[in-house]
A and B are shown apart, each in its own frame.
Chain A
């Protein structure tokens, strides 16, 4: 019985490839963000929030599952399409991709510390030290 109970969450997890993604900012950041704003910041097309303050996007490494969800839901592209997109900009000196962090915890820590930061984690991982600006379903 216990084994079954353990199995159920494991099974759910594997289907949770489509988990909700919470886009998070520093608690002091009062700006409202649309999906389009997030798209622009994470593709390097906008360098500041709508209130004019500088934005520092924090990406997750590709190995973290929620990264693929974010690429699809916020940016509308697969992770390899995003890689092709950035390789166009990197190798022309026209842009630098967002910094990549190795885990959701690192993103939470970085966003909690930095008023300019914007990152994302799976909705279940959100803590009180950051503010959810938008949840992507």
Chain B
């Protein structure tokens, strides 16, 4: 089923290694095709041309148990959207301090959301994709270490994770990606579960720096503002080593074949033009043996920090570029999803999902339909 166990004896024989580490190889894949439903619609990377590449992916995970409570895990993942270039999605070593306490160190998935850890493993959930209004920070992994503690508290299963690390790569500013560095990330995520009910909270902080050429270069907006004597305004806008936070709460009910799940999140980057991002979703489904239909509603509400330019006279030549920059991060978008999962095979699920996103800020509605198969092997 999920795993092929290769005794490393075979490998050891060829590599002349002395250890007898057991190597588990698992994999998952999603083959999805979709398209926007009207000529001008664009959503989640789809346009009016049917695409099999946009959300398809395949991954192999290798875990080697080195004995004495030490193991190493690497996950190689290729996304169709990246022309199937294979990258190390994560690579970390794990050490079991006790039966209930484990340390992971390396390239790790950041525990922002309930589905963060396995958002790429479509087979593990019913939707065609995790709700994009909420899962929208634009990055998932950090380099660092985490401490993972599992125990039972009365009748509840508790899993508590502490994480520290840093990130260097692309992250989202509004709907576009920019070069980001997030230092001093520290966070905690705690999930409590009992008999089909679970509740989760997560809180992370860090120091965020973004580099955008048109803003940060020597001829960019901040330099121009400073030259005008508006250095304070430039500092209010720029994103240099700014205190940032992420908070999320969520719950999940899986009872009598009814499935209800919801998450609410808020992300902030202080003292910058990045709007405070508030999002939530709620999803309800029902399992009829191997067929699970669901509906979900998502809301994304990012309020532009108009107070930054409140003191700038509208007649000023800098008003238009500054207000334009700040206001570009205003987004109010409601999305509705309707979909179905069908477990047609012991290791594979067929899924179809329709999404309609109503962007009230941009005054446009986009809809997309995606069908596909998620599998694990």
Contacts and interface: CB of A to CB of B under 8 A. Distances in A.
Interface of A: 45-48, 61-62, 78-80, 83-84, 86-88, 90-94, 96-97, 100
B152 A90 contact: no
B123 A87 contact: yes
Contacts of A87: 2, 28, 118, 121, 123-124, 376
B301 interface: no
B1 A61 contact: yes
A8 B26 CA distance: 43
B375 to A, nearest CB: 10
Contact of B2 (A93, A94, A97): A97
A91 B3 contact: no
B99 A48 contact: yes
Q: Identify the 6 closest CB pairs spanning chains A and B, nearest first.
A: A92-B117, A93-B73, A80-B343, A88-B124, A87-B124, A87-B376
28 contacts: A45-B152, A61-B1, A79-B346, A80-B290, A80-B343, A80-B349, A83-B2, A83-B123, A83-B346, A84-B123, A84-B125, A87-B124, A87-B376, A90-B3, A90-B26, A91-B26, A91-B28, A91-B120, A91-B124, A93-B63, A93-B71, A93-B73, A93-B92, A93-B104, A96-B24, A96-B63, A97-B2, A100-B1
A62 B1 contact: yes
A90 B290 contact: no
A53 to B, nearest CB: 12
Interface in B121-136: 121, 123-125
Interface size class of B (residues with CB under 8 A): 35 or more
Contacts of B73: 93
Interface of B: 1-3, 24, 26, 28, 59, 61, 63, 71, 73, 75, 92, 94, 99, 104, 109, 117-118, 120-121, 123-125, 148, 150, 152, 157, 289-290, 343, 346-347, 349, 376
B81 to A, nearest CB: 19
B1 A91 contact: no
Contacts of B99: 47-48
A93 B94 contact: yes
A68 to B, nearest CB: 10
A84 B123 CA distance: 6
A88 B130 CA distance: 14
A86 B118 CA distance: 11
A83 B121 CA distance: 12
A62 B346 CA distance: 9
Nearest to A47: B99
Nearest to B151: A45
A79 to B, nearest CB: 7
B134 to A, nearest CB: 18
B99 to A, nearest CB: 5
A91 B346 contact: no
Nearest to B94: A93
Given A62-B1, A83-B1, A83-B2, A94 B148 contact: yes
Contacts of A79: 346
A86 B125 CA distance: 12
Nearest to B123: A87
